[in-house]
Every structure is written in C-alpha cells, then in structure tokens.
Structure 1
Amino acid sequence: MNYSKLQDNFFRLRSNKFFELFVVSVILFSALVIGAKTYDIPEHVLTAIGWLDTGITLFFLVEISIRFLGEPNKRTFFKDPWNLFDTLIVVVSIIPIEDSEMALIGRLIRIFRVLRMVSIIPELRLLLNSLLKALPQLGYVILLMFIIFYIYAAVGASFFATINETLWGDISIAMLTLFRVMTFEDWTDVMYETMAVYPFSWLYYLTFIFLTTFAFLNMVIGIVVSVMEEEHAQVRKDQALADGELTIEDLSQQINELKAMVQKLSQK
C-alpha cells in the first residue's frame, strides 16, 4: 500500500508541468556549462564548472529514477526508445572516465545530454517522429535529386573543366560546385566565369536551380508538412480516445456500419 502511494506521488511529480520546466531548465544550464568549458577560463572557475557538471549528472540520475518509479507498468518503461536513450546518457555520464583514454567519449556523451530536451518536450518528439516517418518518402526524392546532380555534374565537368579545374575538375568536385549553386552561395560568380567562354551556359544553371531549389526542395517541405499534419491528427485522435470522446472519423465509421446493417436487414 505504501509502495502504491509512493508510486502515485512519483507519477504526479513526473507529470507536473513545473517539474518538467525545471528539468528543461537544468538541461539548458547543462548546455551552458558544456559551452563554458570550450573557453579559456581560470583553473578555479574550471573546477567550479566540474562540480556543477557532477551536480547536474546526479540530478539527471534522480530525475530518471523518479520517472522509472512513477511508471505504472515498469516492464514497458525501457520499451520506449526515449526512455532508453535518457537512461543510457545518464548511466554513461556517471562512469568516471575523465582521466582515462575514453575522456573524449565522456565529453561527447555530456554534449548529447542536450538532446534530452527532445524526450522531455512532447512537441519536439512530435517533430522528430514526423521527420523519421517522412524519411521513406524523402528517400525517393533525394535519390531523384542525386540523379539530377550526377547528370549535371557530368555535363559541367565535361564542358567547364578547362575553364576552372578547381570547380569542375572531376564529377565529385562538380557536384560540390553544384551544391554551392543550389544554395545560392556566390553562384553568379561561377556562372559568369563559364559564360565568358560559353555565353548560353546560363541555361545550364537556371534549369538546375529550378529543378533542385524550386522543385525538389519544395517537394521535401511538402512531404514533411504532410506527415506532420498526419501526426497531429493522430495525436488529437489518441487524446480524444483517452478522454472518452468520439472523433468525427469514428462517428462517420459508426454511421457507415449502421447503414450497412440497415441495408442487410432490408434485403432480408
């Protein structure tokens, strides 16, 4: 009975908005501490930062323990990838490897603690989940974009290599140059250089920009936005079901089922 009451208290604590905001504040402060270590600072300040980093690690250990103890079904706690990620980051941060050969890995793990904001803030989780779900569709767009890049790079290396070996020497360098053109990084300088030899080479650049920057990148944005809308709709549906409410889709489905039953009865 006491354990059940303690679990309820931990569950209310982990669901408390102020507690979540405090955890986010500690994560942000942890990011500032990591950034401070990159500056040339006095030894005593560096020592204080080290103690702060240790305190932050202990806080994260307490926080992940509260989340675990407050979980009603503890068997499913580590089935959530975000819980597994948070636990791994915290556990590795505790291991004293600062003075060993793995000190660099320890510092990298502490840097990745900033990513815990994604697991804490639901909106960030939704954005990342939408991006991951959009990857299969984005893969085909990226593949098609690579084909366009390859074709244009082969053409550019064939015609423009004699003009500027640095930009068009081979197909790999030409692809880097085309990436510069796609991002509009001084692309007119590249174009005017080739136009001095091939006056109509502007057609090469404009068609490439229309295909990549205006067409494919907008397709990427459209796919991501579409998946995000689906994710938002699914979240609203799950929330409605959790609250015991019926969504419009559920009502429409029930109406269609009732119509089908009426039709069957009328046929009999």
Structure 2
Amino acid sequence: MASTTGGDDDDESITVAFGCDYAKSSNARCHGKYCDNEITKGTLRLSRSIPNPFIPQSSTREKQLMPVYYHVQCFINYLRSGNENKKRVQNVEEDLQGFDELKKKDQDRLKKLFGYEKQIEGKLSETSTTANTTYLEHDEEKKYWQISIDNKTTKTKYGLLGEADSNAIILYKDFSSQSEAQKYVDKKTQEKLKHGYTVNKQASVRTNDQTPVSTTRKRKQLSIPAKTTPIKRTKRQEATSTKKSISTRKQPTRSASKKIK
C-alpha cells in the first residue's frame, strides 16, 4: 500500500496491532514516511493494523482492520518519531503477531533491533544520568524545545508549555560518530535561538548531578508564591495579649529604683 500524503504519522493514533511476516508478492509498497518503495516478495516485513474505512462496522474485527506494511528499518524509523504517547512495540515476542512463525535468524534480528531501541530510549530518557540535554523556551508562543545527546544518538522533543509530556513530539536520530551528533545538536540549537527561543538557565544543560529537565520545567510552572490571608483577632484576644506583654516586662531592680527616686 502506498503511503499517504503527509507521511505515516497521519494515522498513528489509530494503530490497533503490530505484525510481521514475509511478503507474499511484490505488490505492497512501504508505508514509510520517506520510502514508498515496493517490498520485494519473500523479504521480511513489519506491519501496523489500522481500521479499514471501506468495511462496515458490522463486519468481524479481522475484516475491519487492514495492514500497512514497512521495510524493517522504515518501521523502526516510524517508532522513532511522532507523538511520544503513540502505540509502540514494547515486547517484540508478544507485540508482533506472527513472530513465532518467522525463521530463527529473523527472530534474532528483530530481538537485537528492538533491544537496541529500548537501550537508547533509556539512555535518552528524562531520568538519564549519561545524556546531556539543552532546553529552550519560547515565551511568546508558550512552547518548549529540547535536545538530548548520548554518544552517537540524539533525541529531540518539543511541545507546549504546561501540557503533559505524553502530548510531546519526539524524534530519535543516529549518527556515524559522536562529533557528527554534536554538530547536529549545535546546529539545531542555533536555529531555535534565531527564531526567538531562549535558554532556560536552570535547565540548559543537564549533567550527571543536575535535576532532570522535565522536573525543572514543572518546578518553574509551580513557583508562584501562594497568597497568605492575615489572621483576624478579636478585641478580647488583643486585650489579653496586651496584658500579657505588660506583665512580662522586666521590672526595675531595687538599686535602679533608688536611683530613680
């Protein structure tokens, strides 16, 4: 199936299930955002099942769904971008329908690929102790943008200030070397600064001993001091307080009283 205009993220919120098999012909085309090439007969392919708009809702569940196919790497790229809360593969053996029917070498290949994806997710997570993160805000547009780097991999994340992190858009990218990854970080950061973003000094760069960026951002939003209401006192309470203050005053000593006379 050819990819739709605008890429594969248009229908990401309606993914029902994931699958894997071998292409039965060369008719299906990759649904990858920048691909749209045919998937050669007999090659391993991955798929997403989405509702079929041409089948009535009264049909069986299987008929209501249709698969959209990907080359293996194009499927990985699909998972690496888009809404942070969209459905993703968590366990390759349980989440990929048809996994048990694959050849052993292809099972091992998928386990290795998805295992690596879980690793970089952990290394570039909000609680990572190894990633360096640059965090920017646009005060007028109420947006934030951040980019994290760990070795040769980067993670870009952006969204609206005050919204839940699950609504943010993310993008993971791999580079040939750490220096190339750092060049990408510097370039993107400079572009944002030219477009009105400013560095949040409290969370501009996160190192091993600093507070995670997301926590700092939340603290900033909650830093408005609460108003205090003065306690009203009755006339009786004020009179009692006055008497106590008079009675507790230090009386002059005997020698001092003589001098006064």
**Higher strand content, 1 or 2:** 2
Scaled by the length of structure 1, the TM-score of the pair is: 0.25
Task: Please identify the structure whose Cα radius of gyration is greater.
Answer: 2
Tell me the TM-score normalized by structure 2.
Answer: 0.25
